[in-house]
Every structure is written in structure tokens, then in C-alpha cells.
């Protein structure tokens, strides 16, 4: 077949195509094979040295497979580094091609209409490129196709209804493109289809009922098409071969159909990020092969159905961000294959059941943002494989934190914030050597910071703020935590001086120590923290000078030293900080004039958006007029000339 839009580079090959596909003389066959070799050369895909190769040896080139007659049957060049479009490739020169894999390259432009010449092709993979434009109608001529994958491109098109004519398709992947409009009902004609992936497009409408006739379908993914929705049809229960069903990130609403319980082969079910409401149907418990179940981010109500006890193969259970209420049923402890259990952002209440301690494979447990009460059951401290434990924002949960928490040696993340834990922070936390993030803020802890915490050299986040009964001082050992990125000890009752070892925390981005009883001066070693973006030491009893070394903090965007007893002039070195957005040194004893660096010709253009608060000091002299060009300025309650007490711009 000759295509009307055939490129010039392919002209004159029709006769040779016929010769290559019929019983012909040896000379004709050789000519067709030579034509294939020449077409491979002209593509330029085999590098600059290809032309030096013997054309008759093209079957030995990388990715080329030929039949006994020397005709190319497969071109397999995944991740081959091709930087080109497809216009230089003469598809019509390969009448015997059955497999073409050009995935994972950098192919650009449109898919040529000429691709329809590959009438014998059964496998076509153009995924993970930069292809654009619409699907060519000639693609629908490839009726032998069993596998078609054009995912991860920028194809902008509707799905042509004629795709239903490709009745040999077993795998169809159009995901991660810009396909729009409705899902065509003609897809229901693809009776051999085993895998259908239409995810991450902008499709709209409902699931056509015709798709529910695809009884061989084992994988169906239409997730993250935010305009697909409506009620999920009861007929979906007819897809008895389904192993994986992903409908997340759409606009489905109404109840979850009980007929899902008919999908007895289902191993993975994802209905998250929709608007499903009502109760979780008890028929879900019939899916005994289920290993992955996520119903998160819907409007589901009621309690967890008892039938979930039958899901003994379940490895991941996500029901976060719903309106589910009641106790966590004790039968959860029978789901001993669970690795991930997320129940956060619901209305669960009561005590955490000790049976959770039977989940010996559990890696991640998130019960945050509920209404649990009581203490952490000691049985949970048997979960030695647990790497993440989050029970924050359970405001009726607390008591003393047991030393047994030191048994959780695999913990990487621990968040107990916004609860009512009291007593001392247990030194056993210092045994959790894998810990990266420790969040104990907004509790009722008392006593001092245990020195054992300073053994946690992998810690990148330490947040203990808003425990006002905690006192003592910040020891020099804080400098051992060289992996810290965030350190927050605001709203405690710490006293003494800030340790100079803070200067060892060179990865630090945020340092917050406001609202304590800290005395002494700001350590000049803080100037070593070249990655620091946020520094807040307000509302303490700091004295002395603002160290000139703060001018080394070239990444700093916020500097807050307000409400202390600092007595000095504004150090000129602060003007070395290029991208400062917020500077508050109000309510101190800052003296002298506002530096000339604020003059019209010297102020940094990057500072024009700066919020500046110098109020409640003893500054004197004139106000540089350029200050009025800054984003927000408060110079009130100083001894400045020519300024009213509350002047801002």
C-alpha cells in the first residue's frame, strides 16, 4: 500500500516492497534487502561510522534482527540515545517488520502518517520520548498490533474511535500524554485486551459500559484524568480477570459498587482522590487476593467493615482523609502481611488496639489527625521493622513516653507532635540510630533535653518546640548532629548561652530558638552556616553585638533577632546578604545612624521587596529616602529625624 503523504526519501520503493513480499527471483529479494539497509543508513541512528560498515552486514548492527532472507523483522533500540524526529526513517522500506521499539530516546515531532505502512507489525513501542501532535489515522491500519505503547510523550489528540478495529491488541498504553475528550466505547471491541492504561491524560466523561465487556482485562488504569467521573457502574464487576484496577485522581462519586467484590482475582485496588461517599462495602472483604487497597481522600463514612479481616494477603491499606469513625477494630492485628497502614485524617477514637503489635512486618504506621486517647500500647514497641511512626495531632493522647520506644531500632521518622505527652523525653530515643526526623513539638514534656539525643548523627530534623515546661540549656553536644537541616527549639524554657558548636551544623537551613530565656551573645560561629535561610532568636535575653559574621550567610532570607537586649550599631556586613526578605531587629538597644548603605545609589535592587523592622530602638540621624522604596518598613519609636513614629511604605 502506498500512503499519500509518503516522504520523498521513501519514493520509488513500492515496486521493491512488492518484490520483497512475494515469491520472486533472488535478485529482487536482494534488492529489497539492500533497500532496507539503505533506509537504516539514511536514518542516521547508528552513528557517523555506520556508513563505513558493509551494507550487507546490517543484520549485525545493534538492535537489528533479520529473517533467514536477510529482511529486517525487528528494530529494538530502547534507550539508545536517538536525538531526532521520525521523518528520516522510511517505514515503507520494512514490509516484514514485526517489532519496533524506540522507547526511552529523545524523539521529537509528530508520529509520521507513513507508519501505517508497517502492516505486519505486532509490537510498537514509542514510549518515553518527546513526540507531539495527533495520532495519525494511518495507525489504525496496523491491524496485526498486539502491543501498542506510546506513553510518556506529549501526544495531543482524542482517542480515535477507529482504535476499536485493532482487535488483536493485548496491551494498549496511552498514559502520560494529552489525550482529551471521552473514552471511546469502541475500546469495548478489543476482546483480547489484557492491559489498558489511559492514566495521566485529560480525558473526560464516564467509563463507557462497553469497557465492562473486556472479560480478559487484567489491568485497567485511568487514574489522574481529573475530568473522568460520574458513578462507577455496577457492571465493572463483570471484569472477572482484573488483577489491578486504578481509578485514583478523578471525579467519581456516589457509593463504591458492591459488585467490586466479584473481582476475585484482584490484587491491587486504588480508588483514592475521588469523591466516593457512603460506607466501605463489606463485599470488599471477598477480595482475598488483595495486596494493595487504597481508598484515601474520598468522603467515605461509617466504620471499617469487619469483612476486611479476610484480606490476609494485604500489604498496604490506605483509608486516610475520609470521615471514617469508630475504634480501630482489633482484627487489624490479623492482617499480618501489612507493611503500610495509613488511617490518618479520619474520626477514629478510643485507644490504639494492642493487636497492632502483631503486625511484625509493618514498616509505616500513620494514625495522625484522629481522636485517639490513652497512651501508646507497649505492644507497638515490638514492631522492630517499623521505620515510620506518626501519631501526631491526637490531642487526647499522651501520658509518659515509655523507654521501650528504644526497641524500634528501624525508626527513621517519629512524629508525636500536637498531643499531650508529658514527663521527660526518654533517653532511649538516643538508641534510634537510624532516625532522620524527630518531631515532639506541642506536647507537655518537661525536664531537659536528654544528652542521648545528641548521638543521633543521622538526624536532619529535630523539632521540640512548644514544650514550655522543658528547661536547662542547649549543650555543646548539639554540634554532633552534623546532618541537621532543621532545628527548632522555640517556646521552651531554655536558659544559658547558645553554644558555639552550632557553627558545626553546616547543613542547617532553618534555626529557630525564639521565646526562651537564653542569655549571652549571638555566637559568631553561626556565620559558618552557609546554607542557612531562616534564623529566629527573638524574645530572649541576648546581649552584646550582632556578629559581623552573619554577613557570610549569603543564603539567608529571614533574620529575626527582635525583643532581645542587643546593643550595637547595625553591622555593615549585613549588606552582604543578597536576598534578604525579612529583617527584624526591633525592640533591642540598637544605636547610631541607619547605615549609608541604605542610600539611593547603594541599596541592593534585590532588597526592594525587603520587610524591615527597626522599631523600638535608639537609632538616630536622618532616614535615607530610599527606605521608602522597600516593601514594608517600620522605623517607629526611635530618635530619627524627619520621620513620624509609625511611618511605613
Whether the predicted pLDDT of 108 surpasses 80: yes
Q: What percent of the chain has pLDDT over 90?
A: 85
Which pLDDT score, from 0 to 100, does residue 53 have?
52
Q: Does the fold of domain 496-649 match that of domain 155-326? A: yes
Rounded CA-CA distance 458/461 in Å is: 9
The predicted pLDDT at position 626 comes to: 76
pLDDT at 54: 58
- Mean pLDDT value across the chain: 92
The domain 155-326 is placed in CATH, from the list 3.30.300.90, 3.40.50.360, 3.80.10.10, 3.40.50.10110, at: 3.80.10.10
Residue 10 is predicted with a pLDDT of 62
Fold of the CATH domain 496-649: 3.80.10
Distance, first Cα to last Cα, the chain: 75
Cα separation, 273 vs 250, in Å, equals: 7
Question: C-alpha cell of 59?
Answer: 543484520
Q: Cβ of 625: how many Cβ atoms within 10 Å?
A: 11
pLDDT number for residue 646: 55
Q: CB within 8 A of 196, min separation 6: which ones?
A: 172, 187, 190, 211, 214, 217, 219, 220, 221
Q: Which residues lie closer than 8 Å to 16 by C-beta, 6 or more apart?
A: 28, 31, 32, 35, 93
pLDDT above 70: percentage of residues in the chain: 91
Q: Does domain 329-470 have CATH number 3.30.360.10?
A: no
**Residue 163 φ/ψ, nearest 5 degrees:** -60, -20
User: Which residues in 77-205 belong to E strands, given as ranges?
Assistant: 99-101, 108-110, 123-125, 130-132, 147-149, 156-158, 171-173, 178-182, 195-197, 202-205
Query: pLDDT tens digit string along 601-624?
Result: 456 667 778 899 999 999 999 888
Lowest mean pLDDT among 49-53, 138-142, 282-286: 49-53
Mean pLDDT, residues 266-279: 99
Q: Is residue 644 over pLDDT 60? A: no
pLDDT band at 49, cuts 50/70/90? low
Cα dihedral 209, 210, 214, 219, rounded to 10, equals -60
Looking only at the bridges linking them, the beta strands covering 202-205 and 227-231 are parallel
Instruction: Give 645's pLDDT tier (boundaries 50, 70, 90).
Output: very low
Question: Is residue 84 within 8 Å of residue 60, measured between CB atoms?
Answer: no
Q: What are the residues facing 277 on neighbouring strands?
A: 299
What is the DSSP-derived secondary structure letter of residue 460?
A: -
Nearest alpha-carbon partner for 153 in 103, 90, 220: 103
CB count within 10 Å of CB 92 equals 25
Adjacent-strand bridge partners of 620: 593, 639
Q: What residues does 124 pair with on adjacent strands?
A: 100, 148
Q: 378 pLDDT band (50/70/90 cuts)? A: very high
pLDDT value of residue 642: 75
Residue 22 has pLDDT above 80, yes or no: no
Question: Model-level pTM?
Answer: 0.90
The whole-angstrom distance between residue 199's C-alpha and the CA centroid of its chain comes to: 17
Domain layout of the chain by residue ranges = 1-70+88-98+111-124+135-150, 155-326, 329-470, 496-649
Asked if 631 contacts 611 with a C-beta cutoff of 8 angstroms, the reply is yes
Q: Is the pLDDT of residue 507 over 60?
A: yes
SS3 content of the chain, % helix, strand, coil (to 5): 25, 25, 50
Amino acid at each position: 500500500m502506498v500512503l499519500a503523504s509518503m516522504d520523498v526519501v521513501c519514493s520509488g520503493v513500492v515496486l521493491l516492497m512488492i518484490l520483497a513480499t512475494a515469491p520472486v527471483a533472488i535478485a529482487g529479494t536482494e534488492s529489497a534487502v539492500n533497500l532496507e539497509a539503505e533506509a537504516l543508513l539514511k536514518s542516521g541512528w547508528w552513528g557517523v561510522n555506520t556508513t563505513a560498515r558493509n551494507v550487507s552486514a546490517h543484520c549485525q548492527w545493534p538492535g537489528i534482527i533479520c529473517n533467514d532472507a536477510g529482511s529486517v523483522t525487528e528494530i529494538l533500540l530502547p534507550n539508545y540515545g536517538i536525538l531526532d524526529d521520525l521523518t528520516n526513517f522510511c517505514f515503507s522500506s520494512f514490509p516484514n517488520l514485526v517489532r519496533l521499539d524506540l522507547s526511552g530516546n529523545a524523539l521529537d515531532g509528530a508520529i509520521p502518517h507513513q507508519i501505517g505502512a508497517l502492516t505486519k507489525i505486532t509490537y510498537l513501542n514509542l514510549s518515553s520520548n518527546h513526540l507531539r501532535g495527533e495520532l495519525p489515522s494511518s495507525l489504525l491500519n496496523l491491524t496485526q498490533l498486539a502491543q501498542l505503547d506510546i506513553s510518556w510523550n506529549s501526544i495531543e489528540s482524542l482517542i480515535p474511535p477507529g482504535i476499536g478495529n485493532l482487535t488483536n491488541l493485548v496491551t494498549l498504553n496511552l498514559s502520560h500524554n494529552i489525550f482529551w475528550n471521552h473514552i471511546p466505547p469502541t475500546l469495548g471491541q478489543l476482546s483480547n485486551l489484557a492491559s489498558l492504561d489511559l492514566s495521566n491524560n485529560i480525558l473526560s466523561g464516564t467509563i463507557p459500559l462497553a469497557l465492562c465487556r473486556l472479560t480478559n482485562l487484567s489491568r485497567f488504569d485511568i487514574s489522574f484524568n481529573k475530568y473522568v467521573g460520574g458513578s462507577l457502574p455496577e457492571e465493572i464487576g463483570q471484569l472477572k480477570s482484573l488483577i489491578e484496577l486504578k481509578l485514583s485522581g478523578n471525579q467519581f462519586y456516589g457509593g463504591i459498587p458492591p459488585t467490586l467484590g466479584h473481582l476475585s482475582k484482584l490484587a491491587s485496588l486504588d480508588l483514592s482522590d475521588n469523591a466516593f461517599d457512603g460506607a466501605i462495602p463489606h463485599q470488599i472483604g471477598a477480595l482475598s487476593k488483595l495486596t494493595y487497597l487504597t481508598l484515601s481522600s474520598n468522603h467515605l463514612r461509617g466504620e471499617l467493615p469487619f469483612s476486611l479481616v479476610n484480606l490476609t494477603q494485604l500489604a498496604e491499606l490506605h483509608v486516610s482523609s475520609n470521615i471514617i469513625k469508630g475504634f480501630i477494630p482489633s482484627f487489624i492485628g490479623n492482617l499480618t502481611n501489612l507493611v503500610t497502614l495509613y488511617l490518618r485524617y479520619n474520626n477514629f477514637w478510643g485507644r490504639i488496639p494492642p493487636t497492632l503489635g502483631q503486625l511484625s512486618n509493618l514498616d509505616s504506621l500513620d494514625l495522625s489527625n484522629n481522636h485517639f486517647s490513652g497512651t501508646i500500647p507497649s505492644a507497638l514497641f515490638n514492631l522492630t521493622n517499623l521505620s515510620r511512626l506518626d501519631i501526631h495531632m491526637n490531642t487526647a493522647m499522651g501520658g509518659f513516653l515509655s523507654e521501650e520506644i528504644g526497641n524500634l531500632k528501624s525508626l527513621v521518622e517519629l512524629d508525636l507532635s500536637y498531643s499531650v505527652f508529658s514527663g521527660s523525653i526518654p533517653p532511649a530515643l538516643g538508641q534510634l540510630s537510624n532516625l532522620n526526623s524527630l518531631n515532639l513539638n506541642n506536647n507537655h514534656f518537661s525536664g531537659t533535653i536528654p544528652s542521648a539525643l545528641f548521638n543521633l548523627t543521622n538526624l536532619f530534623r529535630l523539632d521540640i518546640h512548644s514544650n514550655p515546661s522543658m528547661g536547662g540549656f542547649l549543650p555543646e553536644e548539639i554540634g554532633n548532629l552534623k546532618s541537621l537541616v532543621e532545628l527548632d527549639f522555640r517556646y521552651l524554657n531554655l536558659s544559658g548561652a547558645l553554644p558555639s558548636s552550632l557553627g558545626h551544623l553546616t547543613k542547617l537551613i532553618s534555626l529557630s530558638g525564639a521565646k526562651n530565656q537564653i542569655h549571652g551573645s549571638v555566637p559568631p560561629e553561626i556565620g559558618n552556616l552557609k546554607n542557612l535561610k531562616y534564623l529566629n532568636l527573638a524574645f530572649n535575653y541576648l546581649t552584646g553585638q550582632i556578629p559581623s559574621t552573619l554577613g557570610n550567610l549569603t543564603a539567608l532570607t529571614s533574620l529575626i533577632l527582635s525583643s532581645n537586649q542587643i546593643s550595637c550599631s547595625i553591622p555593615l556586613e549585613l549588606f552582604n546578604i543578597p536576598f534578604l526578605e525579612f529583617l527584624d531587629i526591633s525592640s533591642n538597644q540598637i544605636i547610631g545612624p541607619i547605615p549609608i548603605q541604605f542610600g539611593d545609589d547603594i541599596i541592593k535592587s534585590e532588597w526592594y521587596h525587603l520587610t524591615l523592622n527597626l522599631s523600638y530602638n535608639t537609632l538616630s540621624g536622618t532616614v535615607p529616602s530610599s527606605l521608602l522604596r522597600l516593601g514594608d518598613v517600620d522605623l517607629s519609636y526611635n530618635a530619627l529625624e524627619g520621620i513620624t513614629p509609625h511611618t511605613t511604605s
